[in-house]
Structures are given as C-alpha cells and as structure tokens.
C-alpha cells in the first residue's frame, strides 16, 4: 500500500485515495492500471501481434477500460458479489494502422479489436518524440545549417511539434502521414533552451517510418543571447534577493486523512482523475455522491504567430502529448508543503512496459490562514459574540510540463463540500528569435512582446476543458440556468423602480446548455430533479467560474474547427462513456469530426438524465517582460459549490482542530 | 511602537507598516490620527462650538486631512526639511447642520470651516444607532406590538437601517430630516438574532432630535423558530463533525518583515488604507512607486425585496455605517494564523474622544503550499532539471461586520510585485420572516430562497468599489486598454485564417475609460508614458479582475442613481484629492449628485496625468440553504500585476527560505 499515516478517517470527502499497485490490496474497479497489469497487457498484445521486421508494434495509449457506471455503483453498494471484469483499452500502431484493442485481464485475452481508419492519430509516445528529435543530428542538411550559423551541434536540442490540420491536399486521403515538425534550440551552456530558439529551420518527420521527409532552412535569425536566463539557484549570479525566513506548515499529530482508496487515479492522457467524490452528510449520516469522475479532457494552446514555422503551433496538449505523460515528479518542500504525502504514477512505454513517475501526486491539508466562516455579533447591547472557524481543506496536486510550460493542477476539497479546481501557469513562454532589439524599431505586427533583445514572446491562449461527470445525489440530474433578470416595478406606490428576479430554466436538450460566459449573469446549477430539501428546493451543486475567457479564432479556421469544444465555456451532454476527449479520441491531426461540439449537435435530451458538465477555463496570454525568462505563476480556476444540497451550512458543526498552536 | 519582532527588512514591498500612536515615533505625514490627536481635536472643536442645551455637537467623522501628494513625495525624498502640517478633517452635526472643519494640530486651531447645505448626511456614529435602537423599548406603541405578538421585550434587539432616497416629497427641501428606520429581531435565548426578524414593525427615528417620529405595525408574520441556528461552539448541540488534527504555520526564526512605518493606516470610513506601496527593484537597486493609496471607497448592498419594510434596504455601507467603524477585533489563531502580528486602531466617538479597536489588523506571511514559479526541463536528452520556488507572500487583514454580514478584507503583497485584493463574504444573510414552510406553497415572487421554515433569505448584491490611486513609477500615468481582436488572415498561402492581435488605445479623457467587464477581452493597463523598459515597452501595471459582475438595477431607479459608480466596473478619473468617496462625501440619503459617475462626466483629460483607478467588484447573491444560519466564506477579488514594470521576472533571483523543514 502506498505510504500513508494511519490516522482516523476524516474530511467530508470520502477519502478514497489512490492505491497504485499493491498486489494484496482490496480490488477496486477504478484503480489505475498497475505495473504488473501493464506487463500482462503487453504480453497479451505482443502474443497476438508478434513483432517482426515488417510488423512494428507500438503502444500509443494504454489505460483502464472502466466498467460501466451502473456496474461500479452496484459493486460499491455490495449489490453484486463478483468483481467487475478488469479491462484495459489499448491504442497501438501496427504497420501504419491504428488498432483499438480491449484487453481483458481476467480472461487474459483480447476481448475486442478494431482498426481505426478515420482522421487523426493517437497520442505521441515519449519514444516517438525522442527518436524524431534525434534524427536531426545525423541529417547532413541540418548539420550543415547549424554549422553555417556558427553553432555547436552538441549544444543543440530539438523538439517535436504537432502539425495540426490545415486542409492542405497532402493532409487528406491516402497521402496523409503521422508526422511532426522538429524544430530546435541552442543551449549555449545553460539549460534554459526555450529562450534560445534557432529560427528558420524545420524538419518534417514521419513517425511511423521514423525518418525525416522534409527539411527547410528558410531564413537565418540571430539566436537570442538570452543573458540572465539561467534559472537554477546553483548557477544564478548574484545579487540575490535577501532570503525570507523559514515558514512551514506543521501537523504535530500527522494529517487528518487516511490513504485508503481510489478517489485519485492516473491516466497517461488525462493525468489526474478524481473519481467517486462523495460527501459525508452529518445530518443524514450517510455519504452522498457528487462527482463520479472529473479530469482534464483536452487543452488547446494556439499561438498567434503567422510566421512559417509558427503558424501551425496550435497544440492539443492532452490529446497529442498527454496530460499524464507530461506529469512531472514533484519536489518535496517546494512543489508541495512539508505536510504533503506523495504518490507515484505509472504509464506504458511505447514497448508496453511500465514506467514509473515517482512522486507524481502530492496530497496535503491546506491551511492558508483563511477563514471558513465567522461572525461577530455586535448588535446585542452589552454583549459581543465572536465565532470563527479556520478554513482547512484537502489538496491533490500534479504538475504537467509540456516542453516549455508547466501547469500546476490542484483539486481542493473543502470541508463545506466545495470542490475548487485551480490551474497555475508557470514555466517558460515560447519565444521567437528576431532581429529586433527595441520596440521602436518594429513596424510590422510581431505577434508578441519584445521581452528581451532578439526575443519575442508570442501571444497565445490556453484553454483547459474539464470533463465533470457530476452525479449530484444520484445519476439522474438536470442542468438549470437561473438567469438574473432586471424586472421593472410599475407600482407607483413602491419606492423602487426595479429589482432583479431569478428566472430558472431547465435545459431540455444539449442545445439549451451551451453557454458563453460574460454575457448574462446566471447561476449554473446541476440539480437532482428527483430530490428536494425539506424546504422543497432541488438538491444541487453550482458551477462558479472565475473568468470568462472565450475563443477568439474564427470558427472556420482549421484549428478552431478542431477545437470547437472551446466555442462555449459551458456545455452539458448526455452521458456517454465513449465521450471523454473533447477534441476527439484522435486529436493529433484531427479534422474536428469527433469533438464535444459534434456530440452536442446531436441535441440529445439532457433533462433528468445522467449528464456531463464540460467547463472550459481560458487564458488569453499577452506576455510581459516579467514572464521572461520564467513566468511567475498565473492562476485560474472554478468552484463546484453545494447549492441546496444540504439542509443548512454543513460546516456549522465543525469544531476548531483540537490543538491550537500558541506562538 | 506597535509590537513587532525586530528582524531585518524584507519583502520587496517596502514595509512601511503602521504605527498607531507612539508619541516618540518618527513623524510620518500619512500616519493615522493618534488617540492624543483625537483628544486635541475634540478640545479645539468643543472650544469653538461649546455645547449647551440648544447647541448640540456630535462628531460624525474625524479623519486625517492628508497633505497634498506633492508635499508627501517631497518630504519622502527629503527635499523639504520641515514636516507637512498635521491636520484633521472633521464632520460635525451642530444644531441640525453639517459642519466641515479642518483642524490644524500644529497650530491648534480650526484652519477652515464651512456649513454643508447640499443633499445627504454624514456617517452614522455608533451612538446615533445605539440611541435610536433604544428608543423603541420605551415607546408604548412598540411595546404593545411586541406584547400583542406574545414576545418578551427583553429578548428583542433593534437595529438602525439607513433609508436611502426615493424621490418622495418629504425627502426634498426643508422638510428633509436625518432619519433611520428601526426594525427589530427576537433573540429567543440564542445570539443568532438575524435569523429571527420581527416583520411588520418599523419605526422612523429622527437622529438629530433622537426621537421616534413614525411608527408602523403593518402586518404580523410569525417569527421564525430558527432551530439549529446557534453558532457558538460552546452552545451547539451534538453531533459534531470529527475534529481535524491540528495544523499550523511555524516561523522558527520569526517573521521576515519589520513593523516600521506607515504603509497601513486606518480611517473610520474607509477602514484599512494602504499607502505608498512601493517595490524594491533589485536590478535598479531602488524602491519604485506603485500605489500611492488604495482602499474601499464605497460598498453598495441593495436588496431585491419589494415588501414595505424591505424595499429601502439599499445600503451604502462605507458611507453610512463606516467600513472602519464596523472593523472588528480579530481573534488570534482563528481569524489569522499563529504567525500573525496584530495592530490596534482608533476612531473618534460621537463625543470626540478616541475609542480603540483592539487587534483591528493582522499582518502575516502566508505560505499556502503554492508555487511562485517552477519549471522541469525534460527536453535535454539524458538530463532533467527541476527548479521550484515556494510562494510566500505578505497579507494584511481586517474584518468589517455590518450587522449581519462579515467582510474579510485581505491585501496580499506578493514577492513578484503583484498586489492581490480579496474580500471574503461570510456571516449571516438577511432573512425575512414568512408564513411559508415549503417551496411548493409559494405562488408569488418571494424575492429570495426559502432557507428554513418561515425564513426567506433575500436576493441581494454586494458591490465593493475600490479607489486605487496608482502612481506607477511616478505620478504621471496613462490608462491603456489593449483589446484582443480577431484578425482575419487573407493570405491564401497561410495555413491560418485568423489570429488575434492586441489593439492598444490610450484613454484621452474619462469617458474613454469606463468599462463594463465581460463584453470584450482586453488587458487593462496603468502605464507611465514617460518611462520605458530597455526593450521600449511602457512601464506598467495591469488590473486582472476575477469576475465580471455588473449592476442590474435600472439606471433611473433611485438607489442606482445614488450608486451610479457601479454602472461600470472600471473607471479612471483625473486625480482630485477631494474625490475619495465613490458615492459622495455624504452618502446617507444622498441624491447621487456627488458620485464617481458625476465626476467622470466632467470628462477631464487623463492622459499622462496623475490619475486614479476605480474598480468595482461585485457579487449577485442568490442565497442557498448552505448559507443558513451562517454563510461559508465566498471570495472575490482582483490583482494588480506588474506588466513590463520590470525588465524581467523579479523573482528569478529569490532563494528558497534558508531553513527548510524536514518532516
């Protein structure tokens, strides 16, 4: 079992947290695949598709094929005595074809198989990228181009860029290939390579053949000197800021939670998955369901640069690069506070063997000095009453680094039942090399901000689309949009001429539930139409967005067709187990024919049904010099907050933690 | 001097924090008035206006009359050797008239005086309210009404409600009076009186005469039983939630800041004032100005209930009740973490004598487990580099409680130069008594949510308008609105059909700078047009709003005329020392003729001038049952973030605090 202090249970979130591979642990149908399961899957598949010189097999995706929701719920309720079958979903490339396999681990066989022949390709593996990046170094035209620039080959680092789809002839029909563009950086003695792009050179690599099929050295641009871009404390030159005095979080009796379950799991594409988040209702003396499953479904990061080597930079990071594959090891005491507990994660390498990401998750109780609730009652003559409760919550964190950018992903579970999701953007912004050294020299649109000499940080967006399979107190939910509407008062005896009222409408079909935020004030509720509070209010949870960032690309632009899931901030769809990835199962070079927007266009009924909320959190990023050479974290997020879910404030009866610290 | 650990300086914010009254301390022109100064002011004023039976003098407002900005800046730069004169601004009611006095403390005399004869009245004093609330208990019709309802008089608590202005005849001309409505609650053995309104009874009190001039017992509504509304831990009945284990913040070497200055001051109307916030620029080796002064200017809280006793509940809490007057003592370990330092505040009572609010402020370093910046460099073959810095910031907090509602006010200063302002709403929602006990029985608009039997929590808004006198690297600033605009690509050779560009426009006059958020994506920048980075970018700070809540009342509705400052989320005005209070200097019963909207209508030039940013943060509050009987904190806020203010990331060279805790 994963390392865990054995304390009493706690927290209103049922802390079913995360086993990874414990042969002896109690089975749970939503457990992440274990290393031994990855190995078994590999054996089963390689036996069925033996490799040979003409028969190349690569595992592009291996993840849990989860049992149906009804199966899981029945199992949880102990209505079935047998465990649901343990299955994996595998996407393999075999001889230039995409194979979808369901591998049954109980029966040790391939339960189903299918060749996919539609648009788009599966996620890149690390090996896809590493091998593609290496090709350049033995490719004479590239070597010559580097030499011609007076650069040292051993200081060059290359990276694979997805190419998207732009409607060109070679991208259609039989000529289409699984390709990436390889472009390179110059380290020049430091590790901050992203500040030293080598502009003008790009190579096209066929990933299935693993060879360079195109090369262009279009233009020579000075590699930015990028002085003062070193970010390692051990290498930075003085002066330093004076260090702060130590500050730390202490839990003398250990954490209040136990690691004893399955609430957190890991998927190489989605990264962290939160499952079966339930809340213990003190009044009802039972656990009540809130979120069946929540995770990042896709992330769309288009750059706004029309330069030849830049215009196709419209990344679908989850579907192309893997939000889980890019999960990074967390550093104790820095990435997470001293009271954090860490968990490893595993994924399948290209050859099917398991690979570990040590400390991929951290879990900690958070006390930021905030107040959960308070009141000073000063109205009663001669008496002052003051009651305050500290806000202590539980945070689960991962970090995903996509080349230059780092995303800090927090799911925070508050004692009040609120679930706050925050993403913090940090790391390096993408910089284009340029001849400019001062803004006054620039007469054209440079597509970004001159952040240093010869360095333009390019305008871009980040859209994170979350799939939130809410099951508020049960499967059957409805989506209610309560618009706040100014109402005119026509009664002349009234002092008032206006007030606002709440105009609640239940979405009947998917088209009723597409919302661009910012236009009209509204409460966005997931309710259980079959359950009411004692007062007769529908049991619900509401989405509280923190920003209102929407898509800016034209809807007919190819990247936007593929990212049509960002056309609205909020969508609600009928539950469909296969609709997980907002940009489609095959996001790389997709044509946008399998997006959330396409599914929603079926306009299914969503009233009193098992439904799914999709929320897109966006950032338009205009870089500033402060973002160079590493960006201070910029946060965005949203909250899911109980709204007539409880009969009253569920944290009224929370006592202050027993031991208070006397300073 | 205020209690303070004497550590070395810290934080990039120049920690000029807050002395209150230290006879021996070094003079600073922005110090809060000290108790001895309050006493001196009282002596000077009472000498000039001796009280008699016909001559009643009340101090409605006493605050620092600050020296001109140029005087303060010159003084700070040591350009003048003499201290600026120490003056106070006093608003007194003398014989039904509002007197404005400037009292010079150096000369010990009244430097100027004026009788105000326009619309509106000064802030209520505590004594105004306490005395008005008491009147009911000896007023026979009220006593009879309470008895008729079978209630015990000793369990009744009354409160004074501002009456606003609704254009009625008696509110105009010579008949206008300084009045409040007194309405009452029934404690019934607990202290949560706000859950037990006594509906139907209202009294009108003339504050200057201090007598009841109107009484109405319009209707009898059951007082809600309000079971389970006790919120004191010592009185709540089990079951309790299981306590969490202790969690605390420890700074073994003490805080990193020193309390040695004047950055925080206190005003009875504004509450906490942040002054002269500057940033130490490591590269330039100098302190650079950011915020000359920032504070809550007004708070507008209109209720959406047309019931007779409710329709005038459209509060201007800062201008009527005092954001500072309602500042509450903070509770160590609960309102603020164990590493907090506390500060007292003082204000003038109605008789001019000083009154202390013990522990009105707390100041602490905050480490919430967050990440200031990080990057994992995993692109370099055979090498992984990981650098992470903890996010430790400095927080200054006050809590203001306006009867039922508690506002937690945080100003957070980040090492990166960001200033984050957060307000947390907690306390009690206003509840109207009703006969309803179930939603299904309600056929009319009840103006709120049935949160418990006989208890409707009323729809309302909170608008907090902040006055932010930014002086970004100097006085002369411009406001730049950089709209992000979709641009069509017409070059057929391009892969792209669209991208977005930044269309920056400098506001010439005040009308160019009125912004309703949510409509168009834009960067909102305060720049110093006379200073550029080495790259040629204008030195700036930007406003990052967290929400987009706007006004919903009709613009011709009387409360909205008075609160016209909420018509836009963002305004920029020419600096004018007298334009401090967005709802006017005399907010009580104001007619809206002295609001931010009126000033902005002058349409002054604001380009390359000393200008002021006004930001309105709003909440539309649709209550839910979770808000009953005390509301879990709901946060809103905004960030002021350096944007080409520095040449590069100012926290690149921050070292990890030297002592790390090993768990």
pLDDT tens across A327-337, in order? 999 999 999 99
The whole-number pLDDT of residue A209 equals 95
Put simply, the answer to whether B246 touches A661 (Cβ < 8 Å) is yes
Put simply, the answer to whether A368 touches B364 (Cβ < 8 Å) is no
Q: Which of A170, A356, A498, A629 to mutate to test the interface with B (most CBs of B within 10 A)?
A: A498
The band of A658, judged by pLDDT with boundaries at 50, 70 and 90, is low
The whole-number pLDDT of residue B7 equals 25
Among candidate residues A327, A221, A630, A326, the one with its CA nearest the CA of residue A451: A630
Residues on chain A touching B367 (C-beta within 8 angstroms): 247-249, 337, 368
Q: Which of B360, B377, B644 to mutate to test the interface with A (most CBs of A within 10 A)?
A: B377
Put simply, the answer to whether B368 touches A371 (Cβ < 8 Å) is no
By Cβ distance, the residue of A191, A379, A501 closest to B385 is A191
- Alpha-carbon distance of B462 to B447, in angstroms, equals 16
By Cβ distance, the residue of B231, B312, B622 closest to A652 is B231
Residue B356 makes CB contacts below 8 A (sequence gap 6+) with: B35, B344, B345, B346
- Residues in a beta bridge with B610: B476
Length of chain A equals 663
Q: How far B21 CA lies from chain A's nearest CA (Å)?
A: 25
Put simply, the answer to whether B654 touches A556 (Cβ < 8 Å) is no
Q: Which of B170, B486, B500, B646 to mutate to test the interface with A (most CBs of A within 10 A)?
A: B500
User: Could you tell me the CA-to-CA distances from A439 to A306, A445, A455 in Å, in that order?
Assistant: 19, 11, 11
Tokens representing B241 are 């939630």
User: Mean pLDDT over all residues of chain B?
Assistant: 92
Given a cut of 80, whether residue B441 has pLDDT beyond it is: yes
Exposure pattern of B296-317 as b/e (b: 16+ CB <10 Å)? Answer: bbbbbbbbbbbbbbbbbbbbbb
Residues on chain B touching A243 (C-beta within 8 angstroms): 654-658
Which member of A49, A186, A346, A405 is catalytic?
A405
Average pLDDT over residues A266-273: 98
By Cβ distance, the residue of B304, B385, B630 closest to A375 is B630
Given a cut of 70, whether residue A619 has pLDDT beyond it is: yes
By Cβ distance, the residue of B249, B450, B632 closest to A369 is B249
Average pLDDT over residues B515-542: 96
The whole-number pLDDT of residue B259 equals 57
- Residues in a beta bridge with B649: none
- Alpha-carbon distance of B156 to B135, in angstroms, equals 12
Question: B315 with B305: CB under 8 angstroms?
Answer: no
By Cβ distance, the residue of B255, B416, B439 closest to A536 is B439
Given a cut of 90, whether residue B542 has pLDDT beyond it is: yes
In this structure, the number of other CB atoms found within 10 A of the CB of residue B519 comes to 12
Question: B263 with B14: CB under 8 angstroms?
Answer: yes
Given a cut of 50, whether residue B8 has pLDDT beyond it is: no
Percent over 90 (pLDDT), chain A:
82
Average pLDDT over residues B540-565: 97
CA dihedral of B440, B445, B450, B455, whole degrees rounded to 10: -120
Put simply, the answer to whether B388 touches A331 (Cβ < 8 Å) is yes
Among candidate residues A548, A609, A571, the one with its CA nearest the CA of residue A467: A571
Strands (E), A258-416: 264-267, 271-281, 286-302, 314-316, 341-348, 354-377, 385-402, 405-414
Given a cut of 70, whether residue B21 has pLDDT beyond it is: no
Which member of B186, B321, B323, B405 is catalytic?
B405
Given a cut of 50, whether residue A7 has pLDDT beyond it is: no
- Alpha-carbon distance of B221 to A383, in angstroms, equals 27
- Alpha-carbon distance of A197 to A404, in angstroms, equals 12
Given a cut of 60, whether residue A71 has pLDDT beyond it is: yes
Put simply, the answer to whether A334 touches B157 (Cβ < 8 Å) is no
- Alpha-carbon distance of A356 to A132, in angstroms, equals 23
The band of B61, judged by pLDDT with boundaries at 50, 70 and 90, is very high
The band of B173, judged by pLDDT with boundaries at 50, 70 and 90, is confident
Residue pLDDT, tens place only, A207-256: 999 999 999 999 999 999 998 899 999 998 888 887 788 888 888 888 87
The whole-number pLDDT of residue B532 equals 98
Residues on chain A touching B304 (C-beta within 8 angstroms): 499-501
Provide CATH code, domain B35-116: 3.10.450.40
The band of A522, judged by pLDDT with boundaries at 50, 70 and 90, is very high
Question: A338 with A53: CB under 8 angstroms?
Answer: no
CATH label, A276-319+392-642, candidates 3.30.750.24, 2.60.40.10, 3.30.429.10, 2.70.98.20 = 2.70.98.20
- Alpha-carbon distance of B304 to B285, in angstroms, equals 53
Q: CB-hemisphere CA count at 13 Å for A265?
A: 23
Put simply, the answer to whether B381 touches A554 (Cβ < 8 Å) is no
CATH label, A126-217, candidates 3.40.190.10, 3.30.470.10, 3.30.70.890, 3.10.450.40 = 3.10.450.40
The whole-number pLDDT of residue B658 equals 62
Residue pLDDT, tens place only, A530-566: 999 999 999 999 999 998 999 999 999 999 999 999 9
Among candidate residues A570, A565, A591, A567, the one with its CA nearest the CA of residue A580: A565
Put simply, the answer to whether B329 touches A191 (Cβ < 8 Å) is no
Residues on chain A touching B8 (C-beta within 8 angstroms): 242
Given a cut of 70, whether residue B25 has pLDDT beyond it is: no
Q: Which residue of A has its CA nearest to B367?
A: A368
Tokens representing A468 are 């939130």
Residues on chain B touching A250 (C-beta within 8 angstroms): 247-250, 661
* Domain-wise residue ranges, chain A: 35-116, 126-217, 276-319+392-642
Query: What's the distance, Cα to Cα, between the start and end of chain B in Å?
Result: 37
Given a cut of 50, whether residue A9 has pLDDT beyond it is: no
- Alpha-carbon distance of B615 to B606, in angstroms, equals 16
Residue pLDDT, tens place only, B591-645: 999 999 999 999 999 999 999 999 999 999 999 999 999 999 999 999 999 999 9
Q: Rounded to 5 degrees, what angle do the CA atoms A161, A162, A167 make? A: 135
Residues on chain A touching B653 (C-beta within 8 angstroms): 236, 239-241
Question: A364 with A339: CB under 8 angstroms?
Answer: yes
By Cβ distance, the residue of A233, A254, A399 closest to B374 is A399
Put simply, the answer to whether A403 touches B379 (Cβ < 8 Å) is yes
Higher confidence at residue A25 or residue B47? B47
- Alpha-carbon distance of B633 to B334, in angstroms, equals 14
Q: Which of A165, A171, A194, A241 to mutate to test the interface with B (most CBs of B within 10 A)?
A: A241
The whole-number pLDDT of residue B663 equals 47
Q: How far A250 CA lies from chain B's nearest CA (Å)?
A: 5
* For the ranges A234-238, A266-270, A338-342, B186-190, the one whose mean pLDDT is highest: A266-270
Q: Which of A488, A496, A541 to mutate to test the interface with B (most CBs of B within 10 A)?
A: A496
Residue pLDDT, tens place only, B113-128: 999 999 999 999 999 9
B405 catalytic residue (yes or no): yes
Residues on chain A touching B663 (C-beta within 8 angstroms): 338-339
Q: How far B84 CA lies from chain A's nearest CA (Å)?
A: 34
Average pLDDT over residues B416-427: 97
Residues on chain A touching B495 (C-beta within 8 angstroms): 164, 166, 168, 311-312, 558
Put simply, the answer to whether A369 touches B632 (Cβ < 8 Å) is no
Put simply, the answer to whether B533 touches A656 (Cβ < 8 Å) is no
Tokens representing B109 are 């005399």
Which member of B267, B305, B317, B475 is catalytic?
B317
Q: Which residue of B has its CA nearest to A408?
A: B371
Residue pLDDT, tens place only, B359-374: 999 999 999 999 999 9
Which member of A128, A267, A305, A317 is catalytic?
A317
- Reported ipTM: the value is 0.95
Put simply, the answer to whether B406 touches A10 (Cβ < 8 Å) is no
Residues on chain B touching A395 (C-beta within 8 angstroms): 369
B217 catalytic residue (yes or no): no
The whole-number pLDDT of residue A55 equals 81
Residue pLDDT, tens place only, B243-276: 788 888 888 888 877 655 568 999 999 999 999 9
By Cβ distance, the residue of B365, B418, B647 closest to A625 is B647
By Cβ distance, the residue of A245, A379, A661 closest to B159 is A379
Q: Which residue of B has its CA nearest to A385?
A: B191
- Alpha-carbon distance of B30 to B295, in angstroms, equals 14
Given a cut of 70, whether residue B317 has pLDDT beyond it is: yes
Q: Which residue of B has its CA nearest to A495?
A: B166
- Alpha-carbon distance of B543 to B525, in angstroms, equals 6
Percent over 70 (pLDDT), chain A:
94
């Amino acid at each position: 079992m994963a390392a865990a202090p054995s304390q009493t249970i706690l927290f209103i979130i049922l802390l079913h947290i995360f086993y990874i591979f414990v042969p002896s642990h109690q089975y749970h149908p939503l457990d992440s695949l274990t290393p031994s399961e990855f190995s078994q899957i590999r054996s089963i598949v390689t036996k069925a598709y033996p490799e040979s010189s003409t028969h190349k097999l690569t595992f592009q995706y291996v993840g849990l094929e989860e049992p149906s929701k009804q199966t899981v719920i029945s199992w949880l309720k102990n209505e079935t005595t047998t465990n649901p079958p343990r299955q994996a979903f595998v996407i393999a490339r075999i001889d230039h074809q995409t194979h979808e396999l369901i591998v049954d681990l109980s029966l040790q066989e391939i339960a189903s198989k299918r060749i996919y022949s539609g648009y788009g390709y599966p996620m890149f593996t690390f090996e896809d990228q590493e091998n593609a990046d290496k090709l350049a170094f033995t490719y004479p035209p590239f070597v010559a181009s580097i030499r011609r620039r007076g650069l040292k080959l051993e200081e060059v680092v290359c990276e694979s860029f997805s190419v998207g789809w732009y409607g060109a002839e070679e991208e259609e029909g039989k000529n289409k290939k699984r390709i990436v563009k390889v472009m390179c950086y110059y380290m020049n003695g430091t590790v901050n390579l992203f500040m030293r792009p080598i502009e003008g050179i790009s190579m096209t690599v066929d990933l299935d053949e693993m060879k360079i099929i195109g090369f262009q050295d279009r233009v020579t641009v000075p590699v930015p000197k990028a002085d003062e871009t070193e970010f390692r404390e051990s290498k930075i030159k003085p002066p330093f800021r004076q260090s702060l005095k130590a500050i730390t979080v202490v839990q003398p009796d250990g954490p209040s939670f136990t690691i004893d379950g399955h609430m957190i799991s890991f998927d190489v594409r989605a990264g962290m998955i939160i499952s079966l988040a339930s809340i213990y209702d003190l009044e009802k003396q039972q656990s009540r369901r809130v979120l069946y499953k929540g995770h990042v479904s896709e992330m769309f990061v288009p750059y706004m640069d029309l330069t030849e080597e830049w215009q196709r930079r419209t990344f679908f990071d989850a579907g192309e690069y893997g939000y889980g594959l890019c999960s990074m090891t967390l550093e104790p005491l820095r990435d997470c506070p001293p009271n954090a507990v860490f968990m490893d994660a595993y994924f399948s390498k290209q050859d099917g063997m398991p690979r570990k990401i040590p400390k991929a998750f951290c879990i900690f109780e958070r006390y930021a000095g905030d107040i959960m609730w308070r009141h000073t009652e000063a109205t009663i003559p001669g008496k002052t009453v003051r009651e305050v409760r500290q806000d202590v919550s539980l945070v689960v964190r991962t970090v995903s680094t996509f080349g230059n950018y780092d995303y800090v992903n927090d799911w925070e579970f508050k004692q009040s039942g609120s679930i706050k999701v925050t993403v913090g953007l940090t790391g390096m912004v993408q910089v284009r090399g340029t001849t400019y050294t001062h803004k006054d020299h620039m007469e054209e649109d440079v597509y970004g901000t001159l952040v240093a000499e010869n360095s333009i940080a390019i305008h871009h967006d980040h859209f994170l689309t979350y799939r939130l399979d809410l099951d508020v107190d049960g499967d059957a939910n409805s989506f209610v949009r309560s618009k706040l509407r100014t109402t005119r008062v026509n009664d002349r005896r009234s002092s008032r001429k206006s007030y606002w009222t709440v105009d609640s409408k239940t979405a009947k079909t998917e088209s009723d539930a597409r919302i661009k935020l910012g236009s009209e004030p509204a409460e966005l509720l997931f309710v259980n139409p079959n359950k009411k509070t004692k007062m007769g209010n529908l049991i619900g949870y509401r989405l509280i967005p923190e920003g209102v960032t929407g898509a800016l690309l034209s809807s007919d632009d190819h990247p936007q067709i593929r990212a049509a899931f960002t056309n609205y901030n909020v969508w609600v769809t009928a539950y469909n187990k296969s609709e997980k990835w907002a940009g489609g199962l095959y996001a790389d070079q997709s044509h946008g024919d399998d997006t959330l927007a396409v599914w929603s266009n079926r306009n299914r009924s969503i009233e009193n049904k098992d439904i799914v909320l999709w929320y897109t959190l966006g950032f338009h990023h205009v870089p500033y010099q402060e973002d160079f050479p590493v960006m201070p974290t910029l946060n965005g997020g949203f909250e899911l907050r109980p709204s007539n879910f409880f009969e009253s404030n569920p944290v009224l009866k929370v006592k202050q933690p027993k031991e208070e610290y006397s300073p």
